[in-house]
Amino acid sequence: MRPVIMWFRSDLRIKDNPALAAAAATNRPVIPVFILDDVHPGKWAPGGASRWWLHQSLSALRKSAPVVCLRGDARETLIAFVKDTGAESVFWNRCYEPWSIVRDKKIKTALKEMGIATESFNGSLLFEPWEIMNKTGSPYKVFSPYAHACFSKPIRPPDDTKIKVKWKDISSQNSIGSLGLMPKIEWYKGIEKIWAPGERGAAGKLKAILEDTVLDYSSRRDFPAQEGTSRLSPHLHFGEVSPHAVWHAVSRHFTALKSSPAAQPFLRQLIWREFSWYLLYHFPGLPEKPWNPKFASFSWLENDVFLKRWQQGQTGYPIVDAGMRQLWQTGWMHNRVRMIAGSFLVKNLLLDWRLGEKWFWDTLVDADLGNNASGWQWIAGCGADAAPYFRIFNPVLQSKKFDPHGQYIKSFVPELHNIPDKYIHAPWTAPADILKKSGIVLGNSYPQPIVDHALARTRALEAYKRL
Protein backbone atom coordinates (compact mmCIF):
# COMPACT_ATOMS: atom_id res chain seq x y z
CA MET A 1 0.00 0.00 0.00
CA ARG A 2 1.07 3.57 -0.58
CA PRO A 3 2.25 5.08 2.71
CA VAL A 4 1.03 8.19 4.49
CA ILE A 5 3.27 10.84 6.02
CA MET A 6 3.05 12.10 9.58
CA TRP A 7 4.74 15.51 9.62
CA PHE A 8 5.89 16.16 13.19
CA ARG A 9 6.29 19.83 14.12
CA SER A 10 5.51 21.30 17.57
CA ASP A 11 3.94 18.00 18.67
CA LEU A 12 6.84 15.72 19.48
CA ARG A 13 4.83 13.02 21.24
CA ILE A 14 2.91 9.83 20.59
CA LYS A 15 0.10 10.14 23.15
CA ASP A 16 -2.90 12.40 22.50
CA ASN A 17 -1.58 13.35 19.07
CA PRO A 18 -4.62 13.93 16.80
CA ALA A 19 -2.69 13.95 13.53
CA LEU A 20 -0.81 10.76 14.37
CA ALA A 21 -4.02 9.04 15.45
CA ALA A 22 -5.63 9.96 12.13
CA ALA A 23 -2.60 8.74 10.17
CA ALA A 24 -2.61 5.43 12.05
CA ALA A 25 -6.36 5.05 11.45
CA THR A 26 -5.74 4.80 7.70
CA ASN A 27 -4.18 1.40 8.42
CA ARG A 28 -1.43 2.27 5.94
CA PRO A 29 2.32 2.40 6.54
CA VAL A 30 3.18 5.67 8.31
CA ILE A 31 6.41 7.53 7.58
CA PRO A 32 7.19 10.07 10.31
CA VAL A 33 9.20 13.12 9.27
CA PHE A 34 10.51 16.26 10.92
CA ILE A 35 11.71 19.21 8.83
CA LEU A 36 13.94 21.89 10.32
CA ASP A 37 12.77 24.95 8.41
CA ASP A 38 14.98 27.98 9.08
CA VAL A 39 13.84 29.64 5.85
CA HIS A 40 10.26 30.73 6.49
CA PRO A 41 10.67 31.87 10.13
CA GLY A 42 13.42 34.34 9.20
CA LYS A 43 14.67 36.02 12.39
CA TRP A 44 12.33 33.78 14.42
CA ALA A 45 14.06 30.54 13.55
CA PRO A 46 14.74 28.58 16.79
CA GLY A 47 17.35 30.14 19.04
CA GLY A 48 20.33 28.37 20.57
CA ALA A 49 18.63 26.98 23.68
CA SER A 50 15.60 25.84 21.68
CA ARG A 51 17.82 24.05 19.20
CA TRP A 52 19.51 22.13 22.00
CA TRP A 53 16.11 21.09 23.36
CA LEU A 54 14.86 20.16 19.90
CA HIS A 55 17.82 17.83 19.37
CA GLN A 56 17.12 16.07 22.67
CA SER A 57 13.37 15.90 22.06
CA LEU A 58 13.79 14.39 18.61
CA SER A 59 16.23 11.87 20.05
CA ALA A 60 13.62 10.88 22.62
CA LEU A 61 10.88 10.68 19.98
CA ARG A 62 13.04 8.40 17.84
CA LYS A 63 12.80 5.75 20.55
CA SER A 64 9.09 5.49 19.71
CA ALA A 65 8.94 6.51 16.05
CA PRO A 66 11.51 6.16 13.22
CA VAL A 67 11.50 9.88 12.42
CA VAL A 68 13.23 11.00 9.23
CA CYS A 69 15.02 14.29 9.90
CA LEU A 70 15.23 16.75 7.01
CA ARG A 71 16.38 20.34 6.73
CA GLY A 72 15.43 23.17 4.36
CA ASP A 73 12.47 25.10 3.00
CA ALA A 74 9.58 23.01 4.37
CA ARG A 75 7.43 23.57 1.30
CA GLU A 76 10.06 22.35 -1.16
CA THR A 77 11.39 19.64 1.16
CA LEU A 78 8.00 18.12 2.01
CA ILE A 79 6.84 18.07 -1.62
CA ALA A 80 10.06 16.36 -2.67
CA PHE A 81 9.70 13.86 0.18
CA VAL A 82 6.13 13.04 -0.86
CA LYS A 83 7.33 12.32 -4.39
CA ASP A 84 10.26 10.21 -3.19
CA THR A 85 8.14 8.07 -0.87
CA GLY A 86 5.07 7.82 -3.10
CA ALA A 87 2.89 8.88 -0.17
CA GLU A 88 -0.81 9.31 -0.82
CA SER A 89 -1.55 11.77 2.01
CA VAL A 90 0.07 13.97 4.66
CA PHE A 91 -1.10 14.55 8.24
CA TRP A 92 0.01 17.29 10.63
CA ASN A 93 -1.05 19.31 13.65
CA ARG A 94 -1.47 23.02 13.08
CA CYS A 95 1.07 25.69 14.05
CA TYR A 96 -0.02 29.27 14.68
CA GLU A 97 2.99 31.48 14.00
CA PRO A 98 2.11 33.99 11.24
CA TRP A 99 4.76 32.57 8.92
CA SER A 100 3.60 28.98 9.64
CA ILE A 101 0.04 29.82 8.64
CA VAL A 102 1.09 31.38 5.32
CA ARG A 103 3.53 28.55 4.56
CA ASP A 104 1.15 25.74 5.42
CA LYS A 105 -1.64 27.15 3.24
CA LYS A 106 0.75 27.15 0.29
CA ILE A 107 1.82 23.59 1.07
CA LYS A 108 -1.80 22.41 1.20
CA THR A 109 -2.52 24.04 -2.15
CA ALA A 110 0.56 22.55 -3.78
CA LEU A 111 -0.16 19.04 -2.47
CA LYS A 112 -3.80 19.27 -3.54
CA GLU A 113 -2.70 20.12 -7.06
CA MET A 114 -0.56 16.96 -6.97
CA GLY A 115 -3.56 14.89 -5.93
CA ILE A 116 -2.20 14.41 -2.41
CA ALA A 117 -4.71 14.63 0.44
CA THR A 118 -3.81 16.63 3.53
CA GLU A 119 -5.42 16.72 6.95
CA SER A 120 -4.51 19.11 9.77
CA PHE A 121 -5.61 19.10 13.41
CA ASN A 122 -5.39 21.09 16.62
CA GLY A 123 -2.79 19.39 18.76
CA SER A 124 -1.29 22.27 20.74
CA LEU A 125 -4.05 24.61 21.95
CA LEU A 126 -7.11 24.10 24.12
CA PHE A 127 -9.12 26.20 21.68
CA GLU A 128 -8.62 27.32 18.11
CA PRO A 129 -7.93 31.08 18.10
CA TRP A 130 -11.06 31.74 16.05
CA GLU A 131 -13.35 29.88 18.44
CA ILE A 132 -13.32 32.40 21.30
CA MET A 133 -14.77 35.78 20.27
CA ASN A 134 -16.62 38.55 22.10
CA LYS A 135 -20.30 39.43 21.61
CA THR A 136 -19.51 41.60 18.58
CA GLY A 137 -17.61 38.79 16.88
CA SER A 138 -14.26 40.49 17.47
CA PRO A 139 -11.24 39.06 19.29
CA TYR A 140 -10.87 39.79 22.99
CA LYS A 141 -8.22 42.34 23.92
CA VAL A 142 -8.40 41.95 27.70
CA PHE A 143 -7.45 38.75 29.47
CA SER A 144 -10.14 38.48 32.17
CA PRO A 145 -13.19 38.29 29.87
CA TYR A 146 -11.24 36.01 27.54
CA ALA A 147 -10.41 33.70 30.44
CA HIS A 148 -14.05 33.72 31.57
CA ALA A 149 -15.12 32.70 28.07
CA CYS A 150 -12.59 29.86 28.05
CA PHE A 151 -13.60 28.53 31.46
CA SER A 152 -17.22 28.46 30.33
CA LYS A 153 -16.46 26.12 27.41
CA PRO A 154 -15.85 22.37 27.57
CA ILE A 155 -12.32 21.18 26.89
CA ARG A 156 -11.93 17.87 25.13
CA PRO A 157 -10.32 15.15 27.23
CA PRO A 158 -6.98 13.73 26.04
CA ASP A 159 -7.11 10.64 23.88
CA ASP A 160 -5.44 8.03 26.06
CA THR A 161 -5.97 5.23 23.55
CA LYS A 162 -2.75 3.35 22.86
CA ILE A 163 -2.10 3.97 19.18
CA LYS A 164 -0.98 1.07 17.01
CA VAL A 165 1.03 2.50 14.16
CA LYS A 166 2.41 0.60 11.17
CA TRP A 167 5.67 2.49 10.93
CA LYS A 168 7.63 2.41 7.74
CA ASP A 169 11.22 2.86 8.83
CA ILE A 170 13.47 4.79 6.45
CA SER A 171 15.03 6.88 9.22
CA SER A 172 18.55 5.66 8.46
CA GLN A 173 18.59 8.03 5.48
CA ASN A 174 18.83 11.13 7.67
CA SER A 175 20.10 11.27 11.27
CA ILE A 176 19.21 13.90 13.84
CA GLY A 177 22.83 15.00 13.75
CA SER A 178 22.38 16.07 10.12
CA LEU A 179 20.16 18.92 11.36
CA GLY A 180 23.17 20.59 13.00
CA LEU A 181 21.25 21.55 16.12
CA MET A 182 24.03 20.95 18.66
CA PRO A 183 26.56 23.78 19.09
CA LYS A 184 30.29 23.18 18.84
CA ILE A 185 30.94 24.98 22.13
CA GLU A 186 29.37 23.00 24.97
CA TRP A 187 27.66 25.93 26.73
CA TYR A 188 24.62 23.72 27.41
CA LYS A 189 26.18 21.56 30.15
CA GLY A 190 24.30 23.39 32.89
CA ILE A 191 21.04 23.09 30.98
CA GLU A 192 21.26 19.37 30.41
CA LYS A 193 21.74 18.71 34.12
CA ILE A 194 18.27 19.92 35.06
CA TRP A 195 16.06 19.13 32.06
CA ALA A 196 14.78 15.88 30.59
CA PRO A 197 13.38 16.73 27.15
CA GLY A 198 10.93 14.34 25.53
CA GLU A 199 7.53 12.81 26.17
CA ARG A 200 8.77 10.71 29.08
CA GLY A 201 10.36 13.75 30.74
CA ALA A 202 7.11 15.69 30.31
CA ALA A 203 5.12 12.87 31.91
CA GLY A 204 7.52 12.81 34.85
CA LYS A 205 7.24 16.55 35.29
CA LEU A 206 3.43 16.40 35.21
CA LYS A 207 3.42 13.61 37.78
CA ALA A 208 5.73 15.61 40.04
CA ILE A 209 3.59 18.74 39.99
CA LEU A 210 0.48 16.74 40.81
CA GLU A 211 2.22 15.20 43.81
CA ASP A 212 3.66 18.45 45.13
CA THR A 213 3.83 21.73 43.24
CA VAL A 214 0.23 22.27 42.24
CA LEU A 215 -1.12 21.74 45.76
CA ASP A 216 0.28 25.07 46.97
CA TYR A 217 0.66 26.68 43.56
CA SER A 218 -1.12 29.94 44.36
CA SER A 219 0.94 30.59 47.49
CA ARG A 220 4.35 29.44 46.23
CA ARG A 221 4.55 30.33 42.56
CA ASP A 222 5.90 33.85 43.10
CA PHE A 223 8.88 32.79 45.23
CA PRO A 224 11.83 31.88 42.99
CA ALA A 225 13.79 30.05 45.70
CA GLN A 226 10.97 27.52 46.01
CA GLU A 227 9.95 24.80 43.58
CA GLY A 228 6.57 26.46 43.21
CA THR A 229 6.07 26.45 39.46
CA SER A 230 5.47 23.57 37.09
CA ARG A 231 8.34 24.11 34.63
CA LEU A 232 6.13 22.47 32.02
CA SER A 233 6.51 25.37 29.58
CA PRO A 234 9.25 23.85 27.34
CA HIS A 235 7.44 20.51 27.27
CA LEU A 236 4.24 22.28 26.17
CA HIS A 237 6.11 24.39 23.63
CA PHE A 238 7.61 21.35 21.89
CA GLY A 239 4.38 19.41 22.22
CA GLU A 240 5.81 16.64 24.39
CA VAL A 241 2.58 16.82 26.36
CA SER A 242 -0.72 18.27 25.22
CA PRO A 243 -2.40 21.13 27.13
CA HIS A 244 -5.51 18.94 27.21
CA ALA A 245 -3.63 16.25 29.12
CA VAL A 246 -2.31 18.81 31.61
CA TRP A 247 -5.69 20.48 32.06
CA HIS A 248 -7.58 17.27 32.76
CA ALA A 249 -4.85 15.75 34.92
CA VAL A 250 -4.89 18.79 37.20
CA SER A 251 -8.70 18.97 37.20
CA ARG A 252 -9.06 15.27 38.06
CA HIS A 253 -6.45 15.59 40.79
CA PHE A 254 -8.27 18.38 42.59
CA THR A 255 -11.66 16.77 42.09
CA ALA A 256 -10.31 13.68 43.83
CA LEU A 257 -9.17 15.91 46.68
CA LYS A 258 -12.64 17.52 46.71
CA SER A 259 -10.96 20.89 46.21
CA SER A 260 -11.68 21.78 42.60
CA PRO A 261 -11.51 25.61 43.08
CA ALA A 262 -7.88 25.24 44.15
CA ALA A 263 -7.03 24.18 40.61
CA GLN A 264 -8.08 27.58 39.21
CA PRO A 265 -4.77 29.46 39.68
CA PHE A 266 -2.84 26.77 37.82
CA LEU A 267 -5.40 26.32 35.05
CA ARG A 268 -5.49 30.08 34.65
CA GLN A 269 -1.83 29.99 33.65
CA LEU A 270 -2.72 27.57 30.84
CA ILE A 271 -5.30 30.13 29.72
CA TRP A 272 -2.60 32.83 29.73
CA ARG A 273 -0.64 30.63 27.35
CA GLU A 274 -3.74 30.37 25.16
CA PHE A 275 -4.27 34.13 25.29
CA SER A 276 -0.73 34.77 24.05
CA TRP A 277 -1.23 32.54 21.00
CA TYR A 278 -4.69 34.04 20.54
CA LEU A 279 -3.21 37.54 20.36
CA LEU A 280 -0.49 36.42 17.98
CA TYR A 281 -3.04 34.84 15.66
CA HIS A 282 -5.30 37.89 15.55
CA PHE A 283 -2.47 40.45 15.64
CA PRO A 284 0.38 38.81 13.68
CA GLY A 285 2.64 41.86 13.95
CA LEU A 286 2.95 41.32 17.72
CA PRO A 287 6.62 40.18 17.76
CA GLU A 288 7.77 43.20 15.75
CA LYS A 289 5.43 46.13 16.39
CA PRO A 290 3.88 47.56 19.55
CA TRP A 291 0.26 46.47 19.81
CA ASN A 292 -0.58 50.00 20.97
CA PRO A 293 0.42 52.18 17.98
CA LYS A 294 1.18 55.15 20.27
CA PHE A 295 4.38 53.38 21.26
CA ALA A 296 5.69 53.36 17.69
CA SER A 297 7.26 56.76 18.35
CA PHE A 298 8.61 55.99 21.83
CA SER A 299 12.15 57.30 22.31
CA TRP A 300 14.02 54.24 23.45
CA LEU A 301 17.64 54.79 24.44
CA GLU A 302 20.60 53.03 22.83
CA ASN A 303 23.26 51.79 25.20
CA ASP A 304 25.13 48.64 24.22
CA VAL A 305 27.12 48.64 27.46
CA PHE A 306 23.99 48.58 29.61
CA LEU A 307 22.40 45.95 27.38
CA LYS A 308 25.42 43.68 27.71
CA ARG A 309 25.57 44.09 31.48
CA TRP A 310 21.88 43.21 31.71
CA GLN A 311 22.42 40.13 29.53
CA GLN A 312 25.37 39.00 31.64
CA GLY A 313 23.72 39.61 35.01
CA GLN A 314 26.04 42.45 35.96
CA THR A 315 23.57 45.27 36.70
CA GLY A 316 24.38 45.59 40.39
CA TYR A 317 20.82 44.70 41.34
CA PRO A 318 21.07 41.17 42.80
CA ILE A 319 17.56 39.91 41.95
CA VAL A 320 17.95 41.03 38.34
CA ASP A 321 21.43 39.55 38.07
CA ALA A 322 20.30 36.25 39.61
CA GLY A 323 17.53 35.98 37.05
CA MET A 324 19.75 36.71 34.08
CA ARG A 325 22.37 34.23 35.27
CA GLN A 326 19.71 31.59 35.90
CA LEU A 327 18.60 32.11 32.31
CA TRP A 328 22.10 31.66 30.94
CA GLN A 329 22.97 28.68 33.12
CA THR A 330 19.68 26.76 32.93
CA GLY A 331 17.83 28.06 29.85
CA TRP A 332 14.93 29.15 32.03
CA MET A 333 13.96 31.95 34.40
CA HIS A 334 11.34 32.07 37.11
CA ASN A 335 8.24 33.94 35.94
CA ARG A 336 8.23 36.55 38.72
CA VAL A 337 11.89 37.28 38.03
CA ARG A 338 11.18 37.53 34.29
CA MET A 339 8.85 40.42 35.09
CA ILE A 340 11.40 42.07 37.37
CA ALA A 341 14.31 41.67 34.92
CA GLY A 342 12.12 42.73 31.99
CA SER A 343 10.87 45.83 33.77
CA PHE A 344 14.45 46.73 34.65
CA LEU A 345 15.54 46.60 31.01
CA VAL A 346 12.58 48.52 29.65
CA LYS A 347 11.87 51.04 32.39
CA ASN A 348 15.05 51.42 34.43
CA LEU A 349 17.34 51.35 31.40
CA LEU A 350 14.77 52.60 28.84
CA LEU A 351 15.99 50.03 26.31
CA ASP A 352 13.68 48.73 23.61
CA TRP A 353 11.56 45.73 24.70
CA ARG A 354 12.45 44.02 21.43
CA LEU A 355 16.07 43.72 22.61
CA GLY A 356 14.86 41.71 25.60
CA GLU A 357 12.51 39.69 23.40
CA LYS A 358 15.41 38.80 21.12
CA TRP A 359 17.68 37.78 24.01
CA PHE A 360 15.02 35.59 25.57
CA TRP A 361 14.32 34.02 22.19
CA ASP A 362 17.90 32.81 21.97
CA THR A 363 18.41 31.76 25.59
CA LEU A 364 15.09 30.26 26.76
CA VAL A 365 14.40 26.57 26.30
CA ASP A 366 10.70 27.50 26.36
CA ALA A 367 11.10 30.33 23.82
CA ASP A 368 7.58 30.63 22.47
CA LEU A 369 6.72 33.29 19.90
CA GLY A 370 3.30 34.07 21.35
CA ASN A 371 4.29 34.12 25.02
CA ASN A 372 7.57 35.91 24.41
CA ALA A 373 6.06 38.72 22.33
CA SER A 374 2.99 39.28 24.49
CA GLY A 375 5.03 39.06 27.69
CA TRP A 376 7.51 41.71 26.64
CA GLN A 377 4.77 43.99 25.35
CA TRP A 378 2.93 43.56 28.66
CA ILE A 379 6.07 44.61 30.55
CA ALA A 380 6.66 47.59 28.25
CA GLY A 381 3.05 48.72 28.62
CA CYS A 382 2.40 48.66 24.89
CA GLY A 383 0.61 45.31 24.56
CA ALA A 384 -2.94 44.08 24.92
CA ASP A 385 -4.13 44.28 28.53
CA ALA A 386 -0.63 45.49 29.41
CA ALA A 387 0.64 46.68 32.75
CA PRO A 388 0.00 50.45 33.09
CA TYR A 389 2.97 52.59 32.13
CA PHE A 390 3.41 53.82 35.69
CA ARG A 391 3.87 50.28 37.00
CA ILE A 392 7.63 50.10 37.42
CA PHE A 393 8.97 47.23 39.47
CA ASN A 394 11.33 48.28 42.24
CA PRO A 395 13.92 45.48 42.08
CA VAL A 396 14.94 45.93 45.73
CA LEU A 397 11.39 45.81 47.10
CA GLN A 398 10.51 42.89 44.82
CA SER A 399 13.60 41.06 46.02
CA LYS A 400 12.76 41.63 49.69
CA LYS A 401 9.19 40.49 49.17
CA PHE A 402 9.75 37.38 47.07
CA ASP A 403 13.26 36.29 48.12
CA PRO A 404 13.39 37.58 51.71
CA HIS A 405 16.45 35.59 52.79
CA GLY A 406 18.25 35.88 49.46
CA GLN A 407 18.27 32.13 48.85
CA TYR A 408 17.54 32.55 45.15
CA ILE A 409 20.12 35.32 44.83
CA LYS A 410 22.80 33.23 46.53
CA SER A 411 22.10 30.34 44.15
CA PHE A 412 23.12 32.37 41.12
CA VAL A 413 25.17 35.26 42.52
CA PRO A 414 27.71 33.44 44.72
CA GLU A 415 29.70 36.66 45.24
CA LEU A 416 27.00 37.69 47.71
CA HIS A 417 26.86 34.41 49.61
CA ASN A 418 28.37 35.81 52.82
CA ILE A 419 26.56 39.14 53.02
CA PRO A 420 23.85 39.38 55.72
CA ASP A 421 20.24 39.03 54.57
CA LYS A 422 19.63 42.66 55.54
CA TYR A 423 21.92 43.89 52.75
CA ILE A 424 21.75 41.16 50.12
CA HIS A 425 18.98 42.91 48.20
CA ALA A 426 20.97 46.18 47.94
CA PRO A 427 24.66 45.57 48.71
CA TRP A 428 25.57 49.21 48.11
CA THR A 429 23.70 50.12 51.29
CA ALA A 430 25.91 47.93 53.48
CA PRO A 431 28.50 49.62 55.72
CA ALA A 432 32.12 49.32 54.65
CA ASP A 433 32.99 46.90 57.47
CA ILE A 434 30.13 44.57 56.50
CA LEU A 435 31.25 44.57 52.87
CA LYS A 436 34.84 43.86 53.88
CA LYS A 437 33.79 41.05 56.20
CA SER A 438 31.65 39.58 53.40
CA GLY A 439 34.55 39.69 50.94
CA ILE A 440 32.78 42.14 48.65
CA VAL A 441 34.47 45.02 46.84
CA LEU A 442 31.76 46.95 45.02
CA GLY A 443 32.84 47.73 41.49
CA ASN A 444 35.23 44.78 41.59
CA SER A 445 33.90 41.50 43.00
CA TYR A 446 30.33 42.72 42.46
CA PRO A 447 29.23 45.71 40.38
CA GLN A 448 27.84 48.99 41.60
CA PRO A 449 24.24 49.61 40.43
CA ILE A 450 24.36 50.77 36.80
CA VAL A 451 21.49 53.18 37.45
CA ASP A 452 19.81 54.71 40.47
CA HIS A 453 16.31 53.21 40.60
CA ALA A 454 14.60 56.36 41.89
CA LEU A 455 16.14 58.54 39.19
CA ALA A 456 15.51 55.92 36.52
CA ARG A 457 11.88 55.64 37.58
CA THR A 458 11.38 59.39 37.29
CA ARG A 459 13.03 59.40 33.87
CA ALA A 460 10.83 56.54 32.67
CA LEU A 461 7.62 58.17 33.92
CA GLU A 462 8.50 61.39 32.12
CA ALA A 463 9.24 59.49 28.89
CA TYR A 464 5.97 57.55 29.09
CA LYS A 465 3.94 60.66 29.88
CA ARG A 466 5.23 62.31 26.71
CA LEU A 467 3.23 59.73 24.74
Please state the pTM of the whole predicted model: 0.95
pLDDT at 387: 77
Q: Quick one: pLDDT at residue 310?
A: 98
* Neighbour count for residue 439 (Cβ, 10 Å): 13
> What was the pLDDT predicted at 390?
84
Residue 216: predicted pLDDT? 83
Delineate the domains of the chain, giving CATH numbers in brackets: 4-123 (3.40.50.620), 125-156+199-281 (1.25.40.80), 293-465 (1.10.579.10)
CB 413 within 8 A of CB 325: yes
Q: Using CA atoms, how far apart are residues 70 and 85, in angstroms rounded to an integer?
A: 14
In whole angstroms, what is the distance from residue 333 CA to residue 366 CA?
Answer: 10
Q: CA-to-CA distance for 419 and 417, rounded, in angstroms?
A: 6
Question: In the prediction, which pLDDT does 259 show?
Answer: 64
Helix H or strand E encompassing 58: helix 48-61
pLDDT of residue 215: 78
How many angstroms separate the CA atoms of 418 and 77, rounded? Answer: 57
Per-residue pLDDT of the chain (467 residues; tens, 9 = 90+): 899 999 999 999 999 999 999 999 999 999 999 999 999 999 999 999 999 999 999 999 999 999 999 999 999 999 999 999 999 999 999 999 999 999 999 999 999 999 999 999 999 999 999 999 999 999 999 999 999 999 999 999 999 998 999 999 998 878 899 999 999 889 999 999 999 999 999 999 999 988 887 778 888 999 999 988 999 999 999 999 999 999 999 998 887 766 666 688 899 999 999 999 999 999 999 999 999 999 999 999 999 999 999 999 999 999 999 999 999 999 999 999 999 999 999 999 999 999 999 999 999 999 999 999 999 999 999 999 877 888 899 999 999 999 999 999 999 999 999 999 999 999 999 999 999 999 999 999 999 999 999 999 999 999 999 88
DSSP count for the chain of H helices, then E strands: 21, 5
Q: CB count, 10 Å around CB of 146?
A: 23
Q: DSSP 3-state assignment of 129?
A: coil
Q: What is the DSSP string of 211-277?
A: HTGGGGHHHHTT-TTS--S---HHHHHTTSS-HHHHHHHHHHHHHHTT-GGGGHHHHHHHHHHHHHH
Tell me if 336 sits within 8 A of 402, measured CB to CB: yes
Q: Which segments of 89-168 does DSSP mark as H helices, in order?
A: 98-113, 143-151
Instruction: Collect all residues with Cβ–Cβ distance below 8 Å to 443 and sequence separation of at least 6.
Output: none
Residue 1's pLDDT is 87
| Cα 91 to Cα 83: distance, rounded to the nearest angstrom | 15
Distance between CA atoms of 151 and 463, rounded to whole angstroms? 39
DSSP assigned state of 386: P
Q: How far is CA 404 from CA 99, 219, 315, 410, in A?
A: 44, 15, 20, 12
Per the CB < 8 A criterion, the answer to whether 342 and 356 are in contact is yes
* Secondary structure of residue 291 in the 3-state scheme: coil
Q: Say what the pLDDT of residue 260 is.
A: 60
